[in-house]
Amino acid sequence: MNITAESVKQLRERTSAGMMECKKALVEANGDLDVAAEIMRKAGLTKADKKASRIAAEGRIVYAGTADGRSGVLVEVNCETDFVAREADFVAFSDEVAQVALTSNAADVEALLAAKGANGVSLDERRRVLVAKIGENLSVRRLVRVTAPGALGAYLHGTRIGALVSLEGGDATLAKDLAMHVAAINPQYLDSTSVDPAQLAKEREILIAQASVEGKPAAIIEKMVEGRVRKFLAEITLVGQPFVKDPDITVEKLLAKASARVVEFARFEVGAGIEKKQENFAEEVMAQVKSSEKR
């Protein structure tokens, strides 16, 4: 049957799919737009499921905040390549994910994906349609929500690193400066009381072993170890670190000067903790050459 350009255009607007895919679906649906859209949605789900096992370690960190500046979210949305991370449809989708995360109050990624965007379609359905269109595995990996009793600081380093800092006391400038510090220095903990006891015990064990090799008396070793433990804690805790904009002062002293306290902080970096596939370009080219020779 004859499929008009107008019907293809309408289906493209509804599905965001390519022209040829839309025309093929319309032919299969005998020109019925609703049926064609359903055919494409099912096809998109199938393609998305097939790509779900592929590693998606690129992407964007996106921030969205409330109008009063007291609450905000960070989301990490992933794709397979940095090229797609800059693609307009992926950028629009990741921005939408952040906005829905903010307004839906979703507690986790599962709830976020089930939430509906502005078009009334769940984010997971939108994601699957994009997988079919773009041809890469896409995922919403994580989200964090931070609310501040005082100022909330948000900082994005490009689109790959984002940080939030919640303050009690202080002001917006201090909060943003501390968010910048968190993004740059990546503290593991807020202060010594929040350090994982198992990690601290392991570090102390290592330090004792190192000091014992030096052949010092037990009392001296104990003092050496305690000093090194303090140094270790200063390196991994936010309040113990030298402030990134003024290394002569620690974050703890900076906060005291402003009569402020950090309530919580969060930091996301694209792909952190994901084991990426190591590509060998030369081997890939040779494999393609050998494959073509066999034909």
DSSP string covering 157-211: ETTTEEEEEEEESS-HHHHHHHHHHHHHH--SBSSGGGS-HHHHHHHHHHHHHHH
Least confident residue range of 106-120, 151-165, 267-281? 267-281
Helix (H, G, I), strand (E, B) or coil at 92: helix
Which of 84, 66, 204, 58 is closest to 147 using CA atoms?
66
For the CA atoms of 253, 255, 261, 264, the dihedral, rounded to the nearest 10 degrees, stands at: -90
Lowest mean pLDDT: which of 15-19, 45-49, 71-75, 199-203?
45-49
The pLDDT > 90 percentage for the chain reads 58
Q: Which has more pLDDT, 144 or 2?
A: 144
pLDDT interval class at 45 (50, 70, 90): very low
Banded pLDDT at 287 (limits 50, 70, 90): low
List the chain domain ranges.
5-51, 53-147, 192-257
Could you say which architecture CATH assigns to the domain 5-51? Orthogonal Bundle (1.10)
Quick one: fold of 53-147? Answer: Tetrahydropterin Synthase; Chain A (3.30.479)
Between 29-43, 54-68, 220-234, 240-254, the lowest mean confidence (pLDDT) is in 29-43
Counting every residue, how long is the chain?
295
CATH class of 192-257: mainly alpha
Type of residue numbered 162: G
Supply φ then ψ for residue 269, to 5 degrees. -130, 135
Question: Whole-prediction pTM value?
Answer: 0.75
pLDDT digits (tens, 9 = 90+) for 102-139: 999 899 999 999 999 888 889 998 998 888 888 888 99
Average pLDDT, the chain: 86
